[in-house]
Structure 1
Amino acid sequence: MSKTLNDEAWEILFDKYNILNEIEKHGYYEIDSKTINTVRQARLMAKFDHHINLPAIFKQHFLSILPVSRSRYVIGKFDAYEKLKYDKNLKPVEMYLPEMIETIDRNNLYSESVALNCAFASGMIDDLFGETAIPTVSGRMGSSIFEFDISSFPLLTSFRKQRGLNGTGNFTIQVNNAQLEIDGGYETDNAFIIIEAKNEAVSDFLIRQLYYPYRLWQDKIKKPVIPAFFTLSNDVFSFFIFEYENKNHYNSLKLVKQKNYILQHENITLDEIYDILKTEKVVDEPKIPFPQANSFSRVIDFLSILVDNDGSIDKEKLVSTTTFNVVVSRQIDYYTTAAIYLGLAQRERTNGNTNYSLTKKGQLIMQLPYKQKYLGFVSSILQHRIFKRVLYAQLNNAGIPINKDEIVKMMKEENLHGIDSETTYVRRASSIQAWVDWILSLQEEYEG
């Protein structure tokens, strides 16, 4: 994947100020926003919510960046991110949005603030903490003055331990009124809850987004402060509740529980899926590479990101602000191509820039209520003959996935594009099986 604007800008700064050598000598390097602004705006260069968003030179040398004031940042080999793992066996609890609510469109929850408001209005937050919660604090504010310890990057800590060196690898950082932002702050009789919200499933998050607000409010109030991380993905509201075992240590975050919710909706039945399978007309195969995207949920996340960005987003922003390229950078092409293959998104390239936008079909489906939206996705998939054939075969096999060799045989009989080797057939067969499994999973019941 080509370099991003952030990659290029940080390489200039690292070279000009000999940043790597300074970090080796002193353990960290401080830089101010005025210096960063000489190559690119600091607001675009110093906030990376997920490890994958970091510029290439940071990832190459195990570096992270944290604010220490409103205009200064510190760069070092810090363990700045917390991994997040979703419990796939955890069924969402069904909740209800009161009928009197007119200002929240339950079919348009794609922005983080609207999703969080919906979670509160439907009683999810009260249920999560077992007592009535009242929204009290949100928005930007100063962090106050404090210091904390932060661990070195995990691989470096392991390296030190293997050689019998001090394995803690701690750094001490002082913060003087850095800017922070709270997506949602809720007070109950017994606690103050701080929530960081994202409108996609994530594999990790920047701990600072919870730690700085936690330190600010833990020192200001008597009640315990509870940090929580929230995501809305594929219409599932997921909450991760944490606690700090040592308020002075950035990495002492401990997961206490995860709980999922979903808004009340009409259930999807196998009969409805089968009806689409029988009646949906097949379209000609698009003359683009056949998709390799094993998680259809990620395709929906991409479409949700487009909605939240008024229907379109450029590749630079998609790479630098989301977890869409969660494992390797080329995955961003896997899932965007999958949406394009289904006719739900389109890609335009002008002057070296790539922009993605929703098609009219994509806009229509993303505005539909839950049941109609997901059946719309099913229809889009089953307009392609190969998916019809595999789903028919699996249903005739009592719902048990058929042999991958059989899928490859079917694929070779269809006019699929961009498949030029046996190994490619096998990889694409995995995507077909994953999408068929996703379709059948829509029948699953939720906890009431």
Structure 2
Amino acid sequence: MNRSSSMAYDKSWSKIFKDYNIEGYNFSEDGPYTLSASQIKKSCQDFDKTTEKEVRILCKQDSRADRPQIFIENNLFILPIKNGIYKIIKCEGYIDIPEIEEKTIIYNSKLDFKLDSSQIGNSEMQHLDFAYASSLIRTFMNDNSLVLTIRGRKYTPQFSFNVGDDIINVVSVQTEVDAGYEGRDKIVLIEAKNSKTNNTIIRQLFYPFRQWKHYTRKEVILLFFEKRGSLFYIWQYGFSDANNYNSIKLIKAEKYLIEDPV
């Protein structure tokens, strides 16, 4: 987020907090604060810029640095809980994406021909599809049965979970999975980026995880994927307690250089 956008963002959230006296709200005693999209729109209706009044933009806080200053100063983050309803929570809502210090693995593509189309463009989907076509995802998971079956936006079933000392109830929130692969005994869900990420909101992994735990008895596995330069980075995360948002843990991580077929 550039400085002008950040300042507009801060201005909007400062007004929202003032209008609804959120600054005086006691999160420790009263729990998360419920805020609606209509309240946000009402507070920001006189602003001119889209970044100052668009609910989707104001509530998109995918990394710690994406939060407005008032959130940062008070250790707050925001979660959608149903269509048009959000919870502002005082707790750690993000997970670090650590550097992978281990040596780069030289990986030989399982294809017997070169994919010329993989060199055109720089989208997350393109890099992820190339990694899958080269069988890198199957290799990382040690599962040759994985096939692409999930992609795009879906709505969650109803579920509840703990975050900090509070219980959050979610009903029909839209999630987006960059890719999901099903095998004989597991489903692998991927959140993909095309640049370096220092941290990410746990929701991007937790909501799809809970969503698919509802629909299958197979193990649900979570991967965070990045393409930086010529290298492919993969982190595997899991939750030690499926009902605890903060129980996320790193399981393994590797980085690869994919060698094209000769």
Q: Same fold, TM exceeding 0.5?
A: yes
Are residue 122 (structure 1) and residue 134 (structure 2) matched? Answer: yes
Deviates more, 1:231-240 or 1:86-95: 86-95
Q: Deviations over 1:401-433 (max 9, x none)?
A: xxxxxxxxxxxxxxxxxxxxxxxxxxxxxxxxx
Q: Which residue of 2 aligns with 1:215?
A: 210
The higher-RCO structure (CA 8 Å, 6+ apart) is 2
Pair 1:192-2:187 in alignment: yes
Structure 1 residues 238 and 102, CA gap change in structure 2 (3 angstroms) = closer
Q: Does the CA-based 8 Å contact 2:108-2:260 persist in structure 1?
A: no
Q: CA deviation at 1:34?
A: 2.0
CA distance change for structure 1 residues 220 and 103 in 2, over 3 Å: closer, same or farther? farther
Within the candidate set 96, 99, 109, 1:83 is matched to 96
The reply on whether 1:256 has 2:260 as its aligned counterpart is: no
Is 1:66 the counterpart of 2:79? The answer is yes
What residue in structure 1 maps to residue 39 of structure 2? Answer: 35
State the SS of the aligned residue for 2:118: coil
1:178 pairs with 2:173 = yes
| CA distance, structure 1, for counterparts of residue 111 and residue 206 of structure 2 | 33
SS of corresponding position for 2:207: helix
Q: State the secondary structure of the residue aligned to 2:98.
A: coil
* Deviation readout 1:158-215 (Å, 9 max, x if unpaired): xxxxxxxxxxxx2111101111111110011121001101111111111100100100
- Count of equivalent residues: 247
1:105 aligns with 2:105: no
- Is 1:145 paired with 2:158? yes
Q: How big is each residue's C-alpha offset from its partner over 1:49-93, in whole Å with a ceiling of 9 and x where there is no partner?
A: 111111111001111000001211100212110011112233133
Query: What CA deviation, in whole Å up to 9, does each residue of 1:260-280 have, x standing for no partner?
Result: 1122269xxxxxxxxxxxxxx
Alignment map for 1:279-428 (pairs within 5 Å): none
Unaligned runs of 5+ in 2: 45-52
Q: Partners in 1 of 2:116 and 2:169 — Cα distance?
A: 42
The answer on whether the counterparts of 2:100 and 2:255 sit within 8 Å (CA) in structure 1 is: no
3-state SS of 1:195 partner: strand
Rounded Cα–Cα distance in structure 2 between residues aligned with 1:20 and 1:28: 13
Aligned-residue CA RMSD (Å) = 1.9
Q: For the residues of structure 2 that align with 1:37 and 1:235, how far apart are their CA atoms?
A: 43
Secondary structure at 1:186 match in 2: strand
Q: Please tell me whether Structure 1 or Structure 2 has the larger radius of gyration of its CA atoms.
A: 1
Q: Match for residue 22 of structure 1?
A: 25
AA aligned opposite 1:90: K
Matched, 1:5 2:8: yes
Structure 1 runs of 4+ off > 6 angstroms? Answer: none
TM-aligned CA deviation for residue 8 of structure 1: 1.0
SS in structure 1 of the partner of residue 38 of structure 2: helix
Query: 1:50–1:205: 8 Å Cα contact kept in structure 2?
Result: yes
- Aligned-residue offset at 1:227: 1.0
Equivalent residue number for residue 241 of structure 2: 246
Q: Aligned partners of 2:140 and 2:116: how far apart in 1?
A: 23
Point out the structure with the larger helix share: 1
2:136 aligned with 1:134, yes or no? Answer: no
Q: Distance in 2 between matches of 1:193 and 1:9?
A: 38
Q: Deviations over 1:305-362 (max 9, x none)?
A: xxxxxxxxxxxxxxxxxxxxxxxxxxxxxxxxxxxxxxxxxxxxxxxxxxxxxxxxxx
